Amino acid sequence: MESNDEISIKQEANQVSINRPHVVVLGAGASRATCLDGDKNGKNLPLTSDFVKVLGLKSLLEQWKINPDKNFEEIFSDLYERQQTEKIMEIRGIVKNYFNELELPEKPTIYDHLVLSLRDKDIIATFNWDPLLLQAYSRCSKVGLSLPKLAFLHGNILVGYCEKDKIVTLRGICRKCGEFNTPSPLLYPIKNKNYADKFIENEWQLLKWGFENAFMITIFGYSKPETDQEAIAAMQNAWGDKNKRLLEQTEVIDIKTENQIYEDWKPFIHTHHYEVHSNFYDSWISNHPRRTGEAWFNQYLQAKFIDNNPIPKNLGFPDLFGWYKQFYNAERQNPSFSAKLRTNYME
């Protein structure tokens, strides 16, 4: 028997009432968590701290008389400041080749679950160059549900941009004019990145809109590197005064301690309105897929007791897609107002 004080899983699945976006920001830790044992072919996803080791740059750096134990950001920034163009181009070639070869495992991953668990009003913004998020997006587009908008804040190895038609899509042929599009730039870890690039500027406009209008932000595996100060300032400016965010919620998924996380992200946290998780599957998104806004409203504004509807993380794709069908009818009857904010990549 249903109670006026409770919202059941079925009731939550049938609610489509929140149009404000849930914004997710991904860092390298999110891709690492998605492929903890390596990608489909056993290739590891690098973090800034082990970038040199994972990409096999040690011998090259030693040949150049550069300490390979330094953080990659420091190494690359130093080369850039000293205008070591040939060395920079060689590193970029190695990076491009490595990231081009990365593939998701054939079974569902965190990125598949993440993409399926947000709607077209929501935004996933990533600082990562790897193609894994777009690969997940591509195979999850077959389920027939709307998918979130994507923003590639530092470019992406798999994304292209058609200058003529102003379309962001997969690298290759523009679906509108039939001509080859321009591969997105990759912004490397230097202090003054080219955020004025038209493609990059577009991606940041989407994220800024998301932060201004969000009811919840989730930061997943992003460590706020020193060379990203301009990016952090842009996000903070879009979020605005945290003291005016009286109801909004901030969620961080990271392996750092709660105290460290709070210190890192306190400009985005209003008093006690935050949660910290070391595992994606403990997060708000995983426990209330496609209904994070509705669950947030029910719990925080309506003071209702709510039940979790956790992603069944061990299902293969056919069964997983079938599980997500529970949301289909309600969403078809109540489409999100922001569906036209940006065309989806796979259309």
Cβ(35)–Cβ(104) below 8 Å? yes
pLDDT tier for residue 339 given thresholds of 50, 70 and 90: very low
Cβ(258)–Cβ(304) below 8 Å? no
Instruction: Convert the pLDDT of each residue in 195-230 to its tens digit.
Output: 878 899 999 999 999 999 999 999 999 988 888 889
- Cα 344 versus chain centre, distance: 15
Gyration radius of the chain over CA positions: 20
Cα–Cα distance, 187 to 184 (Å, whole number): 9
Q: In the chain, which residue ranges form alpha helices assigned H by DSSP?
A: 9-13, 28-34, 51-54, 58-63, 72-81, 85-100, 110-116, 132-140, 198-213, 229-239, 258-265, 284-287, 292-296, 317-324, 328-333
pLDDT tier for residue 167 given thresholds of 50, 70 and 90: confident
Cα–Cα distance, 106 to 93 (Å, whole number): 27
**Residue 272, C-beta contacts closer than 8 angstroms, at least 6 positions apart:** none
Q: Does the pLDDT value for residue 336 go beyond 70?
A: no
Cβ(129)–Cβ(186) below 8 Å? yes
Instruction: Convert the pLDDT of each residue in 249-307 to its tens digit.
Output: 999 999 999 999 999 999 999 999 999 999 999 999 999 999 999 999 999 889 999 99
The tokens 């993380």 sit on which residue? 313
Cα–Cα distance, 98 to 55 (Å, whole number): 7
pLDDT tier for residue 173 given thresholds of 50, 70 and 90: confident
| Continuous segment of H or E residues that includes residue 219 | strand 216-220
Please tell me the pTM assigned to this model. Answer: 0.94
78, 90, 95, 228, 292 from 81: Cα distances, Å: 5, 16, 19, 16, 44
**Residue 65, C-beta contacts closer than 8 angstroms, at least 6 positions apart:** none
Q: How many C-alpha atoms does 66 have within 13 Å on its Cβ side?
A: 20
Cα–Cα distance, 280 to 300 (Å, whole number): 21
pLDDT tier for residue 345 given thresholds of 50, 70 and 90: very low
